[in-house]
A and B are shown apart, each in its own frame.
Chain A
Amino acid sequence: MDALNSLMDGFGTALTPVNLLWAALGVLLGTAIGVLPGIGPAMAVALLLPVTYGLNPIAAFIMFAGIYYGAMFGGSTTSILLNTPGESAAVVAAMEGNPMAKAGRGAQALAAAAIGHFAGGLIGTILLVALAPTVADLAVDIGAQDYFAIMVLAFIAVTSVLGSSRIRGLASLLIGLTIGLVGLDQMTGQQRLTFGSLQLADGVDVVIVAVGLFAIGEALWVAAHLRRSPGEPIPVGRPWLGRTDVRRTWKSWLRGPFIGFPFGAIPAGGAEIPTFLSYVAEKRLSKHKEEFGKGAIEGVAGPESAASASAAGTLVSMLTLGLPTTAVAAVMLAAFQQYGIQPGPLLFEREPDLVWGLIASLFVGMVLLLALNLPLAPVWAKLLRIPRPYLYAGILFFAAVGAYAVGGEVVDLVILLVIGLIGFGMRRYGLPVLPAVIGVILGPNAEQQLRRALQISDGSVSGLVDTPFAVTVYAVIVVLLAWPWVRKLVGRRAGADA
């Protein structure tokens, strides 16, 4: 009941005309940028960060919420009409959505995706309202050693769950941790890796790292391999659904969120795994199995709904524990830090206006998204025809604006370019980008918690594992680390039995 009252207060914040305007602007900007090929939600949020520098935190996060959901929806439009998903979470949307569009059912595919996002976002956000305060209450007593354990879990999870190669994930994480070390040590003021430079003493701003790795790195990488003839988008009219389509899809819309939400809340790569699981589940449950692969509408509805719900799940761990489980959450955490706000269990007590305003605006954003995107779909489809030189020149342009706006210093642009070149190299050699970003954002924080915990225990390492919570987290880490061997062992035994 308490959560409901707070949520009502949140709606009071979110429904003021000004905040409503920011939410609408966020949804529109997010969708437009998400539709543009080559720009995923993480880059969209990173590029739009500077837009919010002049805003108060509440307005900024209301806008962010719109951008996040808008960018996810925009991404699925691209995969349905262009069949070249840039984002792993949108791969599934392309598998069924693109054949539908080719068969002249693009309007239905877009409608199934849009309503799927609405349903998934709605159910996911309701689960967020129900669960987040409880998680925050449980976590409110956790100490420095527990925080440190959670952050180690985040490091291990992003390096070992995501991507195909653990060693490359670890390399990426260490690069991020190194960048995070640059500057004055938070506890003693000792200069580290500054080489006597005053500018480096302030450390490298997280926003510059995120924009550099996501935007500049991507733009340079695409520039090196630019497709000579970009794919032709399939023209589409206003999305709509017939009665038979609705009869086929409504269960898929409702099933998706229960697969997506839990996966969003744990550090397992965001929407990638749940969209795929949802696809498999829909295929198994469908009465039209023969249509899968040739344009089955359930294969669009379920996964899209799961994707949106996983975004809501991501927010649970981000807001209550300060634990970013996806690239977008990592960038949003950077935005929180920009305002001097530390997400975590105390956030719900210290900043109730902000948190509940943000959650309420998620509901508002979802309604706006549905109301805007159904009629605007043909306009979004036009964005797919943008000449690629303009698109990638624009990304470089706005990345430069963002980095310069951080502090008004030219040296930031040079750092941005250097980090962009690192991002380029990482893409070339298959180092995932997310661990590096998580390392930069959580690294300094993790070090601080570690040192605080050891200060309390007077240097004894047992101080790191003296709570049941910390022990549980380390047990999870051990399971994660041992998983490949366990699987190999089990597989061998199963093979021997057979």
Chain B
Amino acid sequence: MTTQTDTPAAETADRRSWLREHSELGVCVLLLALGVLVLTDALTMDVDITQRGPVGPRTVPVVVGVGLLVVAALLAMDVLRGGRGQAETGEDVDLSEPADWRTVLLLTGVFLGAAVLIEPVGFPVAGALLFWGAAFALGSRRLDRDPLIAAVLSLATYAVFNNLLGVPLPGGPLMGVL
């Protein structure tokens, strides 16, 4: 009795750890999807009128698309044979601990938020929120210092780019008041 109830659970655990071990297959799936996308786009293209010269706008996308499919297959073979891509190392990178997904998600959210805000509230405010939010997500909790640094950095960048370097950034209502 006990063996029968144990086996499915062990099997799913096995399968899960196999998937975790072979998560790089996800890259193959993405490459495959990208290849299909490129090929579909190339083959549904309407080129009769625009074709000029022996090679039209379709040829290179077809080559790239087929290349993606081939690479996806080769990479899958490599992964199944035990090949692994080496995660990149760096000065501040510690690979001994598992990835901290919460921070990555938070940063992505903060970045998207700033992108949405930049036009309605202007760059100085949106930029300051981006810096403060990102610093917060990365673990900085100095409420006395962080917002101040964010505001100064954002205002100074706005002034340098907009007024000194001639690269226009939206000022927003705040700059209208000042």
Interface residues of A (CB under 8 A from B): 37-38, 50-51, 53-55, 78, 82, 84-86, 164-165, 167-168, 170-171, 174-175, 177-178, 181, 185, 187-190, 192-193, 216, 218-228, 230-231, 387-394, 396-398, 400-401, 404-405, 408, 410, 413-414, 417, 421, 424-425, 427-431, 447, 450-451, 454-455, 458-459
Contact = CB atoms under 8 A, between A and B. Distances in A.
- Provide the main secondary structure of the chain A interface: helix
Q: Which of A53, A189, A389 has the most chain B CB atoms inside 10 A of its CB?
A: A389
Nearest to A408: B168
15 contacts: A38-B92, A54-B165, A78-B91, A174-B64, A175-B31, A181-B61, A189-B50, A190-B45, A190-B57, A226-B139, A388-B138, A393-B140, A413-B118, A414-B112, A451-B53
Nearest to A413: B115
Given A164-B86, A178-B38, A228-B94, A393 B138 contact: yes
Contact of B54 (A220, A228, A454): A454
On chain B, which size bracket covers the interface? Answer: 35 or more
Contacts, number: 235
Nearest to A455: B53
Interface string B69-91: 00110110010000111111011
Interface of B: 24, 27, 30-31, 34, 37-38, 41-42, 45, 47, 50-57, 59-61, 64, 67-68, 71-72, 74-75, 78, 83-88, 90-95, 97, 99-101, 103-104, 107-108, 111-112, 114-116, 118-119, 123, 127, 130-132, 134-140, 149, 153-154, 157, 161, 165-170
State the 9 A-B residue pairs at the shortest beta-carbon distance, nearest first.
A430-B85, A459-B54, A54-B166, A393-B134, A389-B140, A389-B138, A413-B115, A455-B53, A185-B57
Given A175-B34, A414-B115, A431 B131 contact: no
A417 B85 contact: no
Nearest to B96: A225
Contact of A225 (B53, B56, B94, B170): B94
B26 to A, nearest CB: 8
B134 A404 contact: no
Given A181-B60, A220-B104, A394 B31 contact: no
A158 B132 CA distance: 38
Nearest to A421: B108
